[in-house]
Structure 1
Amino acid sequence: MEASEEFCGKKLEILQQSMKEQCSLYFSQYHASRLDELCIFLEHDGWELCPVKSTFTATQLQEFKSLESVLNDSELLVSTNTTSIKNKDIWTNFENFRKYLESDLSFLDAKFDNTKDEDILATIDEKTVDYISEDSEDEINHDSIINYAFHRLYTKKKIKTRLAVPMVTNTTLNVLRVCGRYLQMSKLLTSIAVTVIQSMIQFFELYLYCINLFFSSDFNITSKSVYTSKLRLTLTRIEKNLIRDGTINMDDETLKVRRLNLSSVVDLHRDDNFFGLAERVVGVESLIFLGQQYDNLQSYLRRLISENSEKGFLDQFYTETVRSAVDLRKPVYMAVVSKYFKDTNIITLMNRVNWEIKDVMSQHSSYIDVLHHDIEAFARSLNNLTRLIPITTDVKFALWDNVAHLITHTLVEGF
């Protein structure tokens, strides 16, 4: 309507509808390209940490700079009426759109404000700090300080700083940058804001689906309890709506992607590599971090949707999809635990035990020795891993919970 008033002096609904259709067509083509780009990132990611600052958030990226003040103003996010927002210059200043009409660039190709530095990379001091879990000692010896980015020692002084390093990969940053561009788009193309938000959701859904596909499809047990009902339903819905099943349906206009493959540089099968636990942790925890960034955008996204009836998909996304991300810890980490602890060997040893009670044995059975040895070896391997990547208390709890689950299941089956 504003465009028709600007150029024609009156409101023309036919022009409004035409502009909406053209915007939708343009955006659908742009989104298809970005989805293909994300597929490339996912298939080529080595699932290694990017050295970002401990305070890193999405709003520090260039793509979010123009939105930073609005996103950080929590009071405005909660109290501002959606209708009044649409009447503000941030949404309706047609001069923002005119400059793109008068140039050869689309607003998606325009350069961001280079006067604002993107200060997201960790400094040398931050890189050299060993990753300390919440239950570690405050002081650590200089011999244990390892630079996770370059894998070499830098300093001989004791470090007392605790850093909660965000789990971020190249793919995580790519998703956040594209989301920033999409939010820029939704400011100018308010008529397709719902479509833009739904497309942002697809990025997270594909990320979640691939983390499960890449890192949890190789565990060696058949227990259904490793998947919560919410996670199972979420994965089923994503696969139905977003993943092609191999057949081509000409009547289906829904944008879908092929089933992706894990990069060949990631080895999940070698025991001396802890069965790829480092990559699995980075994958799962980066997904959870990404979900937190989406969570920070929730109020802002709701402001973009004018009708309450259109918010159902957003409610489902936050209450089901984002919340189920943490549930991926159990199946993904169980894949490592099930490989590390050979349950078939334990059951074989248990079957050899003579359970007839004639004398009281002075020593325990051999399967107990094997279990004790495996648990100690697992603890040492996990401790060594903390020198390379941050292992939080939540991750440790999930790992040891899986160990307890597997051992209990094995003992019950053996008895």
Structure 2
Amino acid sequence: TGADEVISLYDEILAGRADSRQEFYFAPTQSWAEVSVFPTRNDDFTVVVNNITKRKIAEESLRESEGRLQNLFDNMGDAFAVHEIIRDQHGVAVDYRFVEVNREFAARLGMALADILGHTALELFPQTEKTWIEVFARVAETGKPEQITEYSRELDRYYETRLFCPKEGYCAGIFMDVTTRVQSEKRTVRHQQELTEIGRIGTLAGREPDLDRLLMFILEQTTQAVNASVGMIFLHDPESDTLSWGASLGLSEDFVKEYKRTPIAMGEGLTGTIARTKEPIFIPSDSSHDPRIARSVIHQEGLNSFIGVPIFAGDDVVGVMNILTRPPQQLTVEDMPFCSAIGVQAGWAIISARRVELPTCAT
């Protein structure tokens, strides 16, 4: 930059078209200067030149560093977000605002960045659990990092989240989707619990000689284990090759009378199909109106989920156990192995109890 450029700058300053302080790069010396031009008297002016090369190098280095951090932030494999805690007039945390999120976070939500930034959690996800708000607020208030594993009902996912406080009133977190791991752990725990429960029910059932009490015990224990409210057991009569009423739980008198009066033929409806095929049946919802239902009295029961399993003694079907729910209760396909195992455990106990009753029936 030469004198002509400084004079030109001075003219621009006088005309109000430029600031009195400008930065120039000197290519020959590869240096930067800050040039300040001040009018003095008449048409004279004073020029002050400061070497700002070190500052410019530092600024460029900072920009490059910020660029690398931004690139890392945008392309990191885990979801990252910074939240501003929102409190009510009493200082209680009631929500949080998304002030910074990376692309992975937006992708996990299936949303664009612009649709997230500036919005609050309850605006975007009205069913957000209070736990998220409370933990974020605690980290923002105490400044102490925390790690949590929580379920998001809105997203139907489990997240392991590492939280820290970047500045007062804010909480930042790295969110890792651990749904598969948590579900696997839950299945393992459930499987262990089911094995214990199956063994317990089988042992106790084998000690009960009275058939009626045995059938009710099996129904009560099984429905309780799977959080159901309705159950029924039909027993196979080898002579007529039909299924007769054995026991019930949570059903209307009309329903019970209908099935006590008329046995179920092999292959009839859901129960008859289970007995004939020796295969369980699962209906997730509205089982009262399943097209395979053979008798209209079932429609009036308002039943929801259905799991029906054969009761085995060896390879022979000695009966069928049906476990059901009423809305909003719902069984899952994961409940089937447990119910099937109870059917296997109960078979020999039922055979033994029926043998005990034979002399009484003959008297």
Q: By percentage of residues, which structure has more helix?
A: 1
Q: By percentage of residues, which structure has more strand?
A: 2
Rg larger in 1 or in 2? 2
Is the shorter-chain TM-score for this pair beyond 0.5, marking a shared fold? no
Measured against the shorter chain, the TM-score band is under 0.3
What's the TM-score, normalizing by structure 1?
0.22
